[in-house]
């Protein structure tokens, strides 16, 4: 579980992700759903895998937050990215 506090302009929003569920400020949740839908089946970055539902993957939710927010902070248990699980010397 982790919480993201993000800013867009002067406004601060908060979302929490836990076991595939995102909750938080009602004004920003639809933007996460929209961005996840747009990215469905695609990578969000070189470190993410193509996902059908990015909101089920905590690492993808962090990537979406970076897209949506101008600035942000994260508290809690940060999810591993796909590259974090590779052994040293592994070629992707």
Q: For residue 49, what pLDDT is reported?
A: 65
Tell me, yes or no, whether 28 lies in a domain: yes
Tell me, yes or no, whether 91 lies in a domain: no
Q: For residue 43, what pLDDT is reported?
A: 75
Residues spanned by the domain of 62: 2-85
SS3 label, residue 30: helix
Q: For residue 78, what pLDDT is reported?
A: 84
Tell me, yes or no, whether 67 lies in a domain: yes
What's the rounded Cα separation, in Å, for the pair 20 and 42? 18
Q: For residue 68, what pLDDT is reported?
A: 96
Tell me, yes or no, whether 46 lies in a domain: yes
In tens digits, the chain (92 residues) has pLDDT values of 999 999 999 999 999 999 999 999 999 999 999 999 998 888 776 666 666 788 888 988 999 999 999 999 999 998 876 654 444 444 44
Q: Which helix (H) or strand (E) holds 8?
A: strand 2-8
């Amino acid at each position: 579980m982790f919480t993201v506090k993000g800013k867009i302009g002067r406004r601060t929003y908060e979302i929490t992700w836990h076991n595939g569920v995102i909750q938080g400020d009602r004004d920003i949740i639809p933007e996460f759903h929209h961005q996840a839908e747009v990215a469905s089946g695609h990578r969000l970055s070189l470190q993410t895998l193509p996902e059908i539902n990015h909101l089920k993957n905590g690492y993808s939710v962090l990537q979406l937050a970076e897209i949506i927010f101008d600035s942000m902070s994260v508290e809690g248990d940060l999810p591993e990215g796909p590259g974090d699980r590779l052994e040293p010397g592994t070629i992707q």
